[in-house]
Amino acid sequence: MRLDDLKEQPLKLRTLDEITDDTDDRFRAVGYVPFLPAFRCRRVLITMDVGEEIKAAGKAEFDSEGDAKDGEVLGRYALYLLREMPPRVLGAGMGLDLKAPGIAAMVKQYKDAIRGVEVTRDGKTITATAKAKVDFAPLLKHIAEELPIRQDANNLKQIGLALHMHHDAMGYFPAAICDAAGKPLLSWRVAILPYIEEGPLYREFRLDEPWDSPHNKKLLSKMPKIYTSPIGKAEEPDATFYQVLTGPNTLFPRLNDKPRFTTITDGTSNTFLVVEGGKSVPWTKPEDVVIPAMGKLPKFGSQFPRFFHVVMADGSVRRIKRDADEETLRLAIDPSDGNVIDFDKLKP
């Protein structure tokens, strides 16, 4: 059925229920039913005054009173969509927490403003007037706080992808670049440079020299931005918080190990690959978070008060609460303990 054919179809809607619960399959299949009255509108005039308070007025003229009645229902339906859809987009599309106090207050202001729109009909003419004062400060504050969190997660996402690309190319995850005797010389962060679009920088390193040799030490100042914390302050220049876990019962028991996917018998979605360390390390130095076999775990996270990010071995990024249960953390650190992880205990 063409759109021109739909314009000619008789349509006399009187209530919102008739629009939202239409039973005419011919129109419902095409999806035009709620908006057909708009095609019969002869003239629309909209004015808006934007200041401390937003004031708006609209007028729509139709050929007949019947069309105007349908147009009034359409207008109220449009107001319903305008009231309900933007908050859903902010929540689902932008990931905003609509229950956060500041955001919830702004959403309430917005919805109250839309509910306050007055729609009247006089014969063939429909008039709508509105005025509102919505405080966007909570939304802007939330976005400002969310930006570094998203940047941090994106950094780790790219690092996880680079580690996977290294595994695809070399057949293993790198813990360090080592000499022939297995002595660590440079960090895995140097090893994945070709996979984060830093091939030229990688070629500047002398891979048979340690990270602090006179030549390699000059390259410390060229730390890629992807290793830089969005807000966390490193203890020294050219240091990063992004580290792997090494020690007994980790994916990297020794820095000269070359673990493969087959090493992770607990499943890649259940095993930590990269974490935010509690302290920073020089990005080229083969130094990472050491997990002791017994006793208290080292501190994780340094940027956000409630949580820290980790890259799982499957490449996904998770938020882990700062005060997470250590027993559950150890299950996620160990790639082959055979235990089930309750990730609800780790959620912030």
Threshold 0.85, pTM exceeds: no
Q: What is the distance in angstroms between the CA of the first residue and the CA of the last residue of the chain?
A: 52
Output the six-digit token pair for 318: 């998770």
Residue 69 CB partners (closer than 8 Å, separation 6+): 12, 14, 121
Tens-place pLDDT, residues 52-65? 677 888 899 988 88
pLDDT along the chain (348 residues), means of 10: 40 43 38 57 83 82 86 79 78 67 76 85 90 70 77 94 97 94 96 96 97 96 92 79 95 92 94 94 96 92 88 95 92 92 89
Tens-place pLDDT, residues 224-238? 999 998 876 777 789
Tell me the DSSP string of 51-79.
SSSEEEEEEEEESSHHHHHHHHHHHHHHH
pLDDT attached to residue 134: 65
One-letter amino acid of 6: L
Q: Do 286 and 255 meet the contact criterion of CB atoms below 8 Å apart?
A: yes
pLDDT attached to residue 61: 92
Output the six-digit token pair for 276: 């935010």
Phi, psi of 341 (to 5 degrees): -100, 130
One-letter amino acid of 215: H
**Rounded to whole angstroms, what are the CA distances from 237 to 229, 287, 301, 337?**
12, 16, 18, 38
Locate the domains of the chain by residue range: 3-135, 140-345
Q: Do 158 and 226 meet the contact criterion of CB atoms below 8 Å apart?
A: yes
d(CA 36, CA 10): 10
d(CA 147, CA 169): 33
Sign of CA dihedral 322, 323, 326, 328: negative
d(CA 269, CA 284): 28
d(CA 121, CA 124): 7
